[in-house]
Structure 1
Amino acid sequence: MREFLAVYLKGISMGSADVVPGVSGATIALIVGIYDRLIRAITSIDPRAFRPALRPHDPEARATLRTELERIELPFLLTLGLGIGTAVVILSRVMHGAATTYPVPTYGFFFGLIAASAIVLYGAIGTWTGGRLLVSAVAIVLAFVVTGVTADGVPHSPLVVFVAGAIAICAMVLPGVSGAFFLLILGQYEYMTGTLSTFVDGLIGLLEGDAIAPVIESGTVVAVFGVGAVLGLFTMAHVVGYALERYRAATLAFLVSLMVGSLRLPVTEVWTNLGESSTGTPVAAVVAGIVGAGAVLLVDRYTDDLEY
């Protein structure tokens, strides 16, 4: 139980990081010492190995399934996932309220987080070649264009939510890049944090006799996002892991440059909301940005010796 509690608390710390754009849950996994174990467990999952579950009446099939579950460390993954989910449910409400009620300091904070993370990660690339410069330029332009589109509003269709879940899950294998960052780029951050809060409120309301319709509506969106995340875990996370293993510097240059290009979005949000409240001032945005950048640089200072 002590080990499970430790893993659960580490999951909470990872989930707390992934709710904030610019802070990576994978970096937290490195800090708390479970990154390698997590990657091994994720990459060892083979859906074909669960075929014995279709024959629960067969003692040999049950034994085979039990061996397979032990091999992929299912208790570890479930406990860690429960911790991550707990943090996401609690903090998504806080972040949604901050982004909608205090957009200027909140997006100023996001700008500082993302900009400082990009600076830190650029330092890990090493030698710059022509190919890496080209990849970096393409990523900056791509993110700049995409965030320009998402800033004007993106439909929250099931397909978009599904793809957002599949992409956001890649943050589990990417130290320095968070799932919330990808949601921000895709224009789904405020929508998903708000929908999750509505879903949780609806579940609590059921205990008090409220209608079930809001739960079904918001729960469907959450389920679609979750299915996308699960499939992304078996596909995109493996692709990104392979790219990092074979072409680490170029892949890192591309991902970090996405962060640079995406800075257009928090700048747009800050500019659009200036003067709309007592906190909607340039000074508030700058101060929040400095706090965000300082937080990232402080974490980097004490984790500089960690190997990604």
Structure 2
Amino acid sequence: MTDDANGLSLRMFLVGLCMGTADAVPGVSGGTIALLAGIYDRLIDAITDLTPDAAVRALRAVASLDAGGLWAVVEDTDALFLGTLAVGISLAIVVISRIVHYAEVTHPVALFGFFFGLIFASALVLSRQISLDTRRHAIAAVAGFLVAFTLSGDVELLAGHNLALTFFAGTVAISATILPGISGALILVVLGQYTYLTEALSGFVDAALALATGGAVDRVLDPAATVVAFLAGAAVGLLTVARLVDRALEADRRTTMAFLVALVAGALRAPVTEVSRREGLAWTTDVLAQFVAVAVVGAVILFALDRYAVDIDVDTGDLDDVDADVAGHDR
């Protein structure tokens, strides 16, 4: 591998770390990081190239020990690019999930207050870039807000945790992950699965490390089932829901974005609901003050990121132009 290739791989790994960190936190988007890094179009093209036909070709090449055929599939699907990004994203998510799990146990009010601030600021930032000048746009926005607001409450269908719900969460969250401005973690918060999944991932990593030093196998199985169900849902989402969202954006970007941005606004109910669910916690003056104070910190951080990063024009019909804007942007 050449020095240039090594440098490119390192850069993609670092971009993956940033994308994973962003996607692991509600209110920030890995898709936005991809735009800032100038790889958004390549990322979407590579994901689109991940088809069942490509998978069949790869399996046939492996079965017949055809290294040339396998390498052709790797090049056609830009698999090295995706794989390097995936390693960085995965490592960041593992680290962030551990931090979130600790904070959720020890400082839940501060954690969800911080998330509230991120989501609030994200909704304001995105709202500048949509227009509700037609009835269709307004209806889409109302629908998006109501969907997120309803799901963020105590919905019986989303109560508890099971593999089917985890699979569904993975399917929907991965679709948000590749959208600029919409966070996959935000979707998990709305579905009431965020802290459960971060706990499951941390438990899986701990059990797997313990297994390597003689730990019990049965401690790995339960969190592993949850992680596998989520990853399976994410794989299905990439091949289905993510493509549907992409087509909706191509067909009517303004209406689709009005719906998606309103989802963010409706999701503001989710952090409040999470605090309300905590045993032994009540909305006293002290709790509310702490929640608001940390929310302000979260909002300021996101506003700072927006101020010193880039304005993403979601109203344009062609995201190819956005990369040029990012490259030439100088504040």
Task: State the TM bucket, normalised to the shorter chain.
Answer: over 0.9
Question: Which residue number corresponds to residue 292 of structure 1?
Answer: 298
> Amino acid of the residue matched to residue 13 of structure 1?
C
Using the TM superposition, name which of 105-114 and 294-303 deviates more: 294-303
Q: State the match for 2:273 in structure 1.
A: 268
1:20 aligns with 2:21: no
Superposition map of 1:165-204 within 5 A: 165-204=170-209
Amino acid of the structure 1 residue aligned with 2:299? A
Task: Specify the alignment match of 1:99 in structure 2.
Answer: 104
**Structure 1 residue aligned with 2:142:** 137
1:156-184 Cα shifts (integer Å, max 9, x gaps): 11110000000110123211111110100
CA distance in 2, matches of 1:277, 1:152: 26
Aligned to 1:253, which of 242, 250, 258? 258
Identity %: 42
For residues 85-96 of structure 1, the aligned pairs below 5 Å read 85-96=90-101
Aligned residue in 2 for 1:115? 120
Q: Is the 8 A contact 1:151 1:265 kept in 2?
A: no
Partner-residue secondary structure (3-state), 2:182: coil
Shift of 1:143: 1.5
Which residue number in structure 2 is paired with residue 225 of structure 1? 230
SS at match of 1:281: helix
Is contact 2:16–2:87 with CA below 8 Å preserved after alignment?
yes
2:321 maps to none
Q: Is the 8 A contact 1:151 1:268 kept in 2?
A: no
Aligned-pair CA distance for 1:307: 4.7
* Residue in structure 2 matched with residue 67 of structure 1 by the alignment: 72
Q: 1:50 aligns with which of 50, 55, 73?
A: 55
AA paired with 2:226? V
Residue 278 of structure 2 corresponds to residue 301 of structure 1: no
Identify which range, 259-268 or 215-224, moves more after superposition: 259-268
- Count of equivalent residues: 307
Give TM-score scaled by structure 1 length: 0.92
Hey, what's the Cα distance between the residues in 2 that align with 1:102 and 1:243? 39
Give the corresponding residue for 2:327: none
Q: Deviations over 1:113-150 (max 9, x none)?
A: 11111111111113521111111112212222111125
Question: Residues 147 and 124 of structure 1: is their aligned pair in 2 closer, same or farther, counting only changes over 3 Å?
Answer: same
Kept in 1: contact 2:32–2:180 (CA 8 A)? yes
Q: Quote the Cα distance in structure 2 between the aligned partners of 1:45 and 1:157.
A: 28
| Contact persistence 2:189–2:271 (CA under 8 A) | no
Aligned match of 1:211 in 188, 213, 216?
A: 216
Aligned to 2:38, the other structure's residue is in SS state: coil
CA contact (8 A) 2:61 2:69 kept: no
Structure 2: runs of 5+ lacking an equivalent: 1-5, 315-331
Aligned mates of 1:153, 1:306 — CA distance in 2 = 33
TM-score (norm 2): 0.86
- Corresponding residue SS for 1:149: coil
* Aligned-residue offset at 1:288: 0.9
Classify 1:278/1:101 alpha carbon distance in 2 versus 1 (closer, same or farther; 3 Å).
farther
Distance 1:55 1:117 in 2: 45
Map Cα deviations across residues 66-105 of structure 1 (whole Å, 9 max, x no partner). 2221021111111100000000111101012112321111
The answer to whether the Cα contact below 8 Å between 1:15 and 1:87 also exists between their aligned partners in 2 is yes
The answer on 1:5 being equivalent to 2:10 is: yes
User: Which whole-Å CA distance do the structure 1 matches of 2:267 and 2:193 have between them?
Assistant: 14
Structure 1 residue 302 displacement after superposition: 2.3
Aligned-partner SS, 1:148: coil
Provide the rounded CA distance (Å) in 2 between the counterparts of 1:181 and 1:9: 23
Q: How far apart in 2 are the matches of 1:143 and 1:272? A: 18
Query: Is the 1:105–1:280 contact (alpha carbons within 8 Å) kept by the matching residues of 2?
Result: no
- Name the aligned partner's letter for residue 238 of structure 1: R
CA displacement 1:196-215 (0-9 Å, x = unmatched):
00000001111232211110
Report whether the alignment pairs 1:244 with 2:246: no
Instruction: From the superposition, tell whether residues 278 and 212 of structure 1 become closer, same or farther in structure 2 (CA, over 3 Å).
Output: farther
User: Is residue 46–residue 77 contact of structure 2 (8 Å, CA) maintained in 1?
Assistant: yes
- 1:268, 1:188 → 2: CA distance? 12
Distance 2:275 2:301 in 1: 20
By how many angstroms is 1:152 displaced?
A: 10
